Structure 1
């Protein structure tokens, strides 16, 4: 029997127009590996804490201080907690609180010779790290798109690279994901 591949649609909550990705991920991946896939797919830098909420159960890195009750994501496989039609949440950066809705759109056998994970589609660039959540991102977009805005120069220097909120390249993400295969 071929490995099971999960087709996931990942949508960033509270951002308009939508920022989303469609990725194909082996069902045998642990939630820790899924976290790394999501980091690459969305464009995050893995600088902050994260958690999954699946069926009311919280998963993530164990909290050494015991303040967060999380099941260890290293012990849980995607195919053990999700099936076609499952919806769950992935939260990244508890300060900015980037919440992602994930939908398992399909589950199917792996194509012979195909390497996974793969990013097959998506829309819009991911917000930069530490921009201040959805509200901060909205302010950032307003400022960087208007050369007359008082924070235009400051924010362009802060981001340190060109930023086009409309651009997304699934092939570039797939290239990054090849390191996880």
Structure 2
């Protein structure tokens, strides 16, 4: 396995304190669709909803043939490295158009990855991601207040809805690492299969 060019990315969920953030290492040859998958895995989202990236005046997502949108390009056709080559160092990633979770993705550095390492890779993070469908920022504030106070009038209902306790400091790092590693393993397997097919032909 040869060394790859890797971008270290910091992903921060906007307008929340204390900050909810993750750092990942992403191959620059990976597409924005792969970056979407990595963000979902690293943050702890469940990929239930629509999403898109914004870079300057351009948007990238998953165009729907039933609802054509000429202002959005297919994320799977755009490489992270192509944006970096255009001097793009920051993207906005929006997930769930109802709850409207906006993330800032910053390219912290670009360089050669480690030998014999499969990328993408989870590096670090702090603070747990909000639950899906919690109701955006106002809903998350209410959720945190109720979950932290057994005397809160909605504590029991929200705990039952969530399925248990919620520790804002527990990001479940092992699960995040495994989820991102699974993407890396699939990517590596695809590259190996592609190389074998080229040899056969």
TM normalised by structure 2 equals 0.85
Partner of 2:93: 90
Aligned counterpart in structure 1 of residue 158 of structure 2, from 139, 150, 155 = 155
Contact 1:12 1:20 in 2 (8 A): yes
Look up the SS of the partner of 2:18 in the other structure: coil
Q: Which runs of 5+ in 1 are unaligned?
A: none
The residue that corresponds to 1:81 in the other structure is 83
The superposition leaves residues 95-148 of structure 1 with CA deviations (integer Å, 9 ceiling, x where unpaired) of 000000010000111100122111111110000000011111011000110000
Structure 2 residue runs without a partner (length 5+): 185-201
Residue 85 of structure 1 deviates from its aligned partner by: 7.0
1:174 aligns with 2:177: yes
The 5 A counterparts of 1:62-81 are 62-64=63-65, 65-67=67-69, 69-81=71-83
Q: Secondary structure at the match of 1:179?
A: helix
Q: How many residues align?
A: 181
Structure of higher CA gyration radius: 2
1:180 alignment partner, SS class = helix
Partners of 1:51 and 1:161 in 2: CA distance? 31
1:1-181 superposed matches below 5 A: 2-64=3-65, 65-67=67-69, 69-82=71-84, 86-181=89-184
Shift of 1:68: 6.4
Runs of 4+ aligned structure 1 residues displaced above 6 Å come to: none
Per the TM alignment, residue 170 of structure 1 is displaced from its structure 2 partner at its CA by 3.3
Distance in structure 2 (CA, Å) of the matches to 1:7 and 1:174: 15
Q: What CA RMSD, in Å, does the superposition of the two structures yield over aligned residues?
A: 1.6
Aligned to 1:165, the other structure's residue is in SS state coil
Q: TM-score, normalised by structure 1?
A: 0.94
CA separation of 1:142 and 1:68: change in aligned 2, threshold 3 A? farther
